[in-house]
Amino acid sequence: MRNMLPLLSSKPHQGGRSALTCRYRCGDACFQEVPNTSDNEYAADIIAGALSRRSVVRAAAVVTVAAAAGTASVTGPGGGGQAHAAAAVSRGAGSGRADGARGLRFAPVAPNVADTVTIPSGYRQDIVIRWGDPILRGAPAFDAERQTAKAQAGQFGYNNDFLSLLPLPGERGRQIMVANHEYTSEWLMFRNYDPQNPTREQVEIGWAGHGLSVVVVQEERGTGRLTAVPRHRLNRRITATTEFRVTGPAAGSPLLKTSVDPSGTRVLGTFNNCAGGETPWGTTLHGEENINNYFANSSRPTDRRYGLATGATERKWERFDKRFDVRQEPNESHRFGWVVELDPYDPDSTPRKRTALGRFKHEGAQPRLTDDGRPVVYMGDDERFEYFYKFVSSRRMKKGNSRAAREHNLTLLDEGTLYVAKLTGDSPEYTNGTGTGAHPADGEFDGSGVWIPLATNKVSHVPGMTADEVYVFTRLAADKVGATKMDRPEDVEPSPRTGRVYVALTNNTERGNPGKPGADEANPRNFNKHGQILELAENWDDPSSDGFAWRLFLVAGDPNDPQTYFAGFPKDRVSPISCPDNVTFDPHGNMWISTDGNKLGSNDGLFGVATQGERRGELKQFLTVPIGAETCGPVVQDRRVLVAVQHPGETDFATVEKPDSTWPDGPGKLVRPAVVSIWRKDGRDIGV
Ligand code: FEO
Ligand code: CA
Ligand code: CA
Ligand code: CA
């Protein structure tokens, strides 16, 4: 029997997420006091230099309504998935249209609670790699009953989240896949797990199950299938104990020095890596998100702003390494919460923590180059009432693959300016925090914004804070300058096609509660269960410009709900969506959105939506993931869609002994997070 913990109560959880997920991934953030208690929402700034919005021609869409959907509920290749029969819930997915914008021509999948990955008819799927599959030389095959930390350190980690596919020149039909392993779910990993008394081996398996994986994958000719190539020379595991170098303006700061690292520049490990990004110079970025979960016994106000525990942690790592006990090693927690940069092409490289990008609960980090070649990195801080940020490098990227160019480009994220966003709406009815979500009288949730500089290299722009303090306590710096409190900013990604920037805001059921900020035009609903997506227009030809225009692109939920908005597209022709989290773009310029915590009664899913043209706002569901899972890491290429199925089976009261999911391998096997590739049966491109 599971030992019941006090926090495993019957309280409702944020979004549709299970108690187990809340506890292990975000440290029950929904039950804790919101860490942002600053009063900056009343700060009144005059917005200068806001851009006039590009007008978007949105002709009345003429859409043919086709026959009923033919979606394929496909059991995982191991035969699992029979434990819970598919059951359509709520309304259907639009009307089953296989037409749509180029790249989105598939029959949408209906919302469901099947214990499988459900994909459109005419498509195929297969597992690319599972938790525990060996990737390094000498690593054993996965054995659920004989797990060891040594084995896990050579195997694919737990809870795959962000995914990147990078080209591998010189090796035909192969790509490099980089994956985040956000956290470990010990209940579902170990038989008879006792959360009060984890063993050293279990804790060290947890350390090795965190971090990142680099795995070369082989394409199957004529399909979108990918298979892992074990023991490839580029394959790599980075774990909670791998050595990192700290770089940028706060490297070596007294705030980062510890008893074992008086230099303040060398850190062991990365954890809670959520989303990430790909740089144009061939590296990957990885956000360190809910790092508060790992550090015990803190009473400092600065740590409270980051949500650190005053007592023991859930995983109790502090019993096995004193660096996780703030009383014993006060600055160790300051060495997490950064954006990590990895060079997957050099298996011997030391990954870096880039202090110039600030320290907060980083969801992801996605760059785009300005017209003059400088990277701008967009970043969300995923917690209720937190902010979103950007970093603008002062250096230009060098093209080419010469050693000099690569070395130069690895310095791009160490020099520049860190900004936080402040938004102002233009519809007066939204300035009083009433939060009905009703569509504004001027026709749009929109307004202007300003990027407020926080620090440039060693110079602080925040009164009363040194530059080191701005970088290490970025949340406090943003409080002081009156940044706008958002509904959990997750991925913030610029469209490679249009340069418009999209901010996924997952949900915030605390908005409008007594003592909490009420709705505003960018966060227009109180008790916001379903989230929204913001669209920004940036000045790509002028990196020093600090103004932008914004509007809501999507107000998520059941399309029958009058509060929802799909960029003006007819709502009887879209799929229901709840809790947008990660976004990516396909080769046609469409945005794809994965969800985390569906509150409409369906499993989480992946959706495609056109952002331009007559079909702008036409949102279609491409897949659903198994019971308890979150859809993560989407990558959309011409021939394949790749998703990370994170925390499958992570429902309230599920254990190894009493699983709620048997995905992907069927009864009698441990439920295992895994990466899935989906492609078209006829071999043609996705959605054309
Ligand atoms: Fe790890 Fe913001 O989700
Ligand atoms: Ca996420
Ligand atoms: Ca407006
Ligand atoms: Ca999330």
Q: Is the CB of 491 under 6 A from ligand 1?
A: no
* 246 within 8 A of 269, measured Cβ to Cβ: no
Q: Quick one: what percent of the chain has pLDDT higher than 70?
A: 89
Calculate how far, in angstroms, residue 408's C-alpha sits from the geometric centre of ligand 2.
31
CA–CA dist 326, 91 (Å, integer): 49
Model confidence at 45, pLDDT cuts 50, 70, 90, reads very low
Calculate how far, in angstroms, residue 344's C-alpha sits from the geometric centre of ligand 2.
22
Question: What is the atom index within ligand 1 of the atom nearest the CA of 289?
Answer: 1
Q: 191-205, 539-553, 571-585, 663-677: lowest mean pLDDT where?
A: 539-553
Task: Report pLDDT for 98.
Answer: 75
SS3 of residue 289 by DSSP = coil
Ligand with the closest atom to the CA of 634:
2
- 432 vs 211, residue with greater confidence: 211
* 319 within 8 A of 297, measured Cβ to Cβ: no
Task: Report pLDDT for 23.
Answer: 72
Answer whether residue 355 is part of any domain.
Answer: yes
Calculate how far, in angstroms, residue 488's C-alpha sits from the geometric centre of ligand 2.
10
What tokens does 48 get? 């200068």
Task: Report pLDDT for 77.
Answer: 36
Calculate how far, in angstroms, residue 494's C-alpha sits from the geometric centre of ligand 1.
19
* 137 within 8 A of 652, measured Cβ to Cβ: no
Task: Report pLDDT for 99.
Answer: 87
Q: Is the CB of 126 under 6 A from ligand 1?
A: no
Q: Is the CB of 586 under 6 A from ligand 1?
A: no
User: Stretch 137-141: mean pLDDT, rounded?
Assistant: 98
| DSSP β-ladder status, 605-609 and 619-624 | antiparallel
Model confidence at 590, pLDDT cuts 50, 70, 90, reads very high
Residues contacting residue 504 through CB under 8 Å, at least 6 positions apart: 380, 489, 490, 491, 492, 531, 533, 580, 581, 582, 583, 593
SS3 of residue 548 by DSSP = strand
* 271 within 8 A of 338, measured Cβ to Cβ: no
CA–CA dist 683, 622 (Å, integer): 17
Residues contacting residue 369 through CB under 8 Å, at least 6 positions apart: 280, 375, 376, 397
pLDDT tens-digit readout, 387-428? 999 999 999 999 998 999 999 999 999 999 999 999 999 998
The answer on pLDDT for 63 being more than 90 is no
User: Average pLDDT over the chain, rounded to whole?
Assistant: 89
Calculate how far, in angstroms, residue 49's C-alpha sits from the geometric centre of ligand 1.
33
pLDDT tens-digit readout, 66-88? 222 334 433 343 333 322 223 33
Calculate how far, in angstroms, residue 550's C-alpha sits from the geometric centre of ligand 3.
10
Q: Is the CB of 133 under 6 A from ligand 1?
A: no
User: Stretch 628-642: mean pLDDT, rounded?
Assistant: 98
Angle at 164 between CA 567 and CA 410, to 5 degrees: 110
Q: Is the CB of 182 under 6 A from ligand 1?
A: yes
Task: Report pLDDT for 387.
Answer: 98
Q: Is the CB of 630 under 6 A from ligand 1?
A: no
* 368 within 8 A of 356, measured Cβ to Cβ: no
What tokens does 407 get? 């070395």
* 287 within 8 A of 274, measured Cβ to Cβ: yes
Question: What is the atom index within ligand 1 of the atom nearest the CA of 630?
Answer: 3
State how far the alpha carbon of 441 is from the alpha carbons of 8, 50, 427, 437, 447, in Å.
44, 21, 7, 12, 13
pTM of the model: 0.91
Answer whether residue 574 is part of any domain.
Answer: yes
CA–CA dist 180, 445 (Å, integer): 34
C-alpha 116: how far from its chain's center?
22
SS3 of residue 42 by DSSP = helix
Calculate how far, in angstroms, residue 490's C-alpha sits from the geometric centre of ligand 1.
7
CA–CA dist 572, 13 (Å, integer): 29
Question: What is the atom index within ligand 1 of the atom nearest the CA of 488?
Answer: 2
Q: Is the CB of 363 under 6 A from ligand 1?
A: yes
What tokens does 591 get? 């945005």
Q: Is the CB of 520 under 6 A from ligand 1?
A: no
Q: 30-34, 60-64, 482-486: lowest mean pLDDT where?
A: 60-64
Number of domains, the chain = 1
The answer on pLDDT for 13 being more than 60 is no
Ligand with the closest atom to the CA of 596:
4
Q: Is the CB of 469 under 6 A from ligand 1?
A: no
pLDDT tens-digit readout, 348-371? 999 999 999 999 999 999 999 999
Answer whether residue 582 is part of any domain.
Answer: yes
SS3 of residue 340 by DSSP = strand
Q: Is the CB of 382 under 6 A from ligand 1?
A: yes
Calculate how far, in angstroms, residue 419's C-alpha sits from the geometric centre of ligand 3.
24
Answer whether residue 665 is part of any domain.
Answer: yes
Calculate how far, in angstroms, residue 631's C-alpha sits from the geometric centre of ligand 2.
9
Q: Is the CB of 618 under 6 A from ligand 1?
A: no
Answer whether residue 552 is part of any domain.
Answer: yes
Ligand with the closest atom to the CA of 632:
2
pLDDT tens-digit readout, 228-268? 999 999 999 999 999 999 999 999 999 999 999 999 999 99
* 134 within 8 A of 140, measured Cβ to Cβ: yes
Q: 181-195, 406-420, 421-435, 589-603: lowest mean pLDDT where?
A: 421-435
* 631 within 8 A of 596, measured Cβ to Cβ: yes
Task: Report pLDDT for 22.
Answer: 72
The helix (H) or strand (E) run that includes residue 203 is helix 200-209
Task: Report pLDDT for 309.
Answer: 93
Q: Is the CB of 490 under 6 A from ligand 1?
A: yes
Residues lying with their CB under 5 A of ligand 4, a single-atom ion: 581, 596
User: Stretch 367-390: mean pLDDT, rounded?
Assistant: 97
Model confidence at 16, pLDDT cuts 50, 70, 90, reads low
CA–CA dist 26, 29 (Å, integer): 6
Ligand with the closest atom to the CA of 275:
2
Angle at 304 between CA 302 and CA 305, to 5 degrees: 65
Q: How many CA atoms lie within 13 A of 195 on its CB side?
A: 21
Look at the block and give the residue holding tokens 């994958």: 217
Q: Per residue, what are the HEC states of 463-512?
A: CCCCHHHHHHCHHHHHHHCCCCCEECEEEEEECCCCCCEEEEECCECCCC
Calculate how far, in angstroms, residue 444's C-alpha sits from the geometric centre of ligand 3.
4
Domain, as residue range, for 511:
19-680
What tokens does 362 get? 């980083």
Q: Is the CB of 383 under 6 A from ligand 1?
A: no
Model confidence at 55, pLDDT cuts 50, 70, 90, reads very low
Question: What is the atom index within ligand 1 of the atom nearest the CA of 382?
Answer: 2
Angle at 136 between CA 134 and CA 137, to 5 degrees: 110
pLDDT tens-digit readout, 272-309? 999 999 999 999 999 999 999 999 999 999 999 999 99
What tokens does 511 get? 């908005």
Neighbours of 144 (CB within 10 A): 13
pLDDT tens-digit readout, 636-657? 999 999 999 999 999 999 999 9
State how far the alpha carbon of 302 is from the alpha carbons of 249, 297, 597, 670, in Å.
20, 13, 29, 40
- Closest-CA residue, ligand 1 atom 1, reads 274
Look at the block and give the residue holding tokens 């298979």: 227
State how far the alpha carbon of 229 is from the alpha carbons of 124, 219, 279, 349, in Å.
21, 10, 24, 21
Q: Closest Cα to residue 52, out of 539, 523, 521? A: 539
Answer whether residue 688 is part of any domain.
Answer: no
Q: Is the CB of 381 under 6 A from ligand 1?
A: no
Answer whether residue 8 is part of any domain.
Answer: no
Calculate how far, in angstroms, residue 646's C-alpha sits from the geometric centre of ligand 2.
10
Q: Does the N-terminal peptide bond of residue 249 adopt cis geometry, omega within 30 degrees of 0?
A: no
Residue type, 509: T
CA–CA dist 392, 368 (Å, integer): 10
Q: Is the CB of 632 under 6 A from ligand 1?
A: no
